[in-house]
Amino acid sequence: MEYSQLRNFKLRYFVIFAIFIFIASTILFLFVNIPAGEEWLTFVISVCFLGYILQQTKKWNFTYSEQFMNKTMSKARWAKYLSITACFQLITVVLTSILLIILYLVFEEQIRSFIELFQFMTMETVNTPLIVYILFFINICILAPIWEELLFRGILLRRFTLKWSPQKSIVVSSVIFGIIHLNPINIVFAFALGCVLGYAYLKTKNIVVPMLLHSFSNFLAFLQFCYANQTVELDLPTTEAVRRELYISGAIFLAISFVLVFLLVKYYKHFRQLKNPPLKVDEQPEIEALLGE
């Protein structure tokens, strides 16, 4: 497939469609009391997004893979991509924990005063319905990796390479990918992950590779979700215990950061050497027209 065909996907139409689906779905779930409503809302939105992208894919005959995965992915390459992806996910979790601990230490007196209002609640068992876990897994480990990779890597990233270098295209598409995640920490993490996924896609020319890496990253988040939804203790720890946890989290953060920096520096030269594929002769007029717009 010629990359210039990707211009047939009008991003503004997708944004309008996304806004409409989000508003309509939100209104629907506000008036209909459904168990696990938030997860069902995310599920409906993801299915609609995926359906729209697949409809456009069929309409314009988009193809997303130019090489077979077994020809481009070795065990060493899988180890590299998975280790970097895991480091990004773990460092995000640890950094979030550190920030929460610091906030607790800064506002410890106010937090303790607030908790004293609920002294009768010493422990609360959170009975999260099974459907919540199922939907959460489907949403972030299956649906999101598919439609997000088709959109951000399969369409947007390759469209950007018509105008810019692969490095700039990866950065710009990753910035957009990060912004949609809203949470400040998640924006930074999603941007970094997007760069890894974008590089992996342009390097392997197979959309399944970033999909699997994305799914692996989200699966780690799913495990964290399962752990966090077990038992919540309202008995506050001592200041010494919190500080000790801060030291441990800080040490883990530095260790993971060291590994991550080592991996990124080691493979940065491959990122710099990444080049766009040579244009076909029949693509030259279309690209020149695109650059002139």
pLDDT over threshold 60, residue 199: yes
Question: From CA 143, how far away is CA 50, in angstroms rounded?
Answer: 8
DSSP letter assigned to residue 233: E
In a domain, 173, yes or no: yes
Question: From CA 153, how far away is CA 169, in angstroms rounded?
Answer: 10
pLDDT over threshold 50, residue 271: yes
Over residues 258-280, the mean pLDDT reads 81
In a domain, 145, yes or no: yes
Residues in the chain: 293
Q: Residue 233: beta bridge partners? A: 123
CB 213 within 8 A of CB 82: yes
In a domain, 287, yes or no: no
In a domain, 38, yes or no: no
Please, which residues have CB within 8 angstroms of residue 117's CB and are 6 or more apart in sequence?
Answer: none
**DSSP-based three-state secondary structure for 101:** helix
Over residues 250-255, the mean pLDDT reads 95
Residue 134, domain extent: 70-279
Tokens of residue 280, six digits: 């076909």
In a domain, 146, yes or no: yes
Which helix (H) or strand (E) segment holds residue 124: the answer is: strand 123-125
* Count of domains observed in the chain: 1
In a domain, 4, yes or no: no
> pLDDT class for 293, splitting at 50, 70, 90?
very low
CB 18 within 8 A of CB 176: no
In a domain, 144, yes or no: yes
Over residues 205-210, the mean pLDDT reads 96
pLDDT over threshold 60, residue 18: yes
pLDDT over threshold 80, residue 98: yes
CB 191 within 8 A of CB 175: yes
Q: In terms of Cα–Cα distance, which of 56, 53, 77, 52 is closest to 210?
A: 77
Quick one: what percent of the chain has pLDDT higher than 70?
A: 89
Query: pLDDT value at position 78?
Result: 94
In a domain, 114, yes or no: yes
CB 186 within 8 A of CB 92: yes
Tokens of residue 38, six digits: 């938030």
pLDDT over threshold 60, residue 40: yes
CB 215 within 8 A of CB 105: no
Quote the pTM value: 0.88
**DSSP-based three-state secondary structure for 125:** strand
Over residues 98-104, the mean pLDDT reads 92
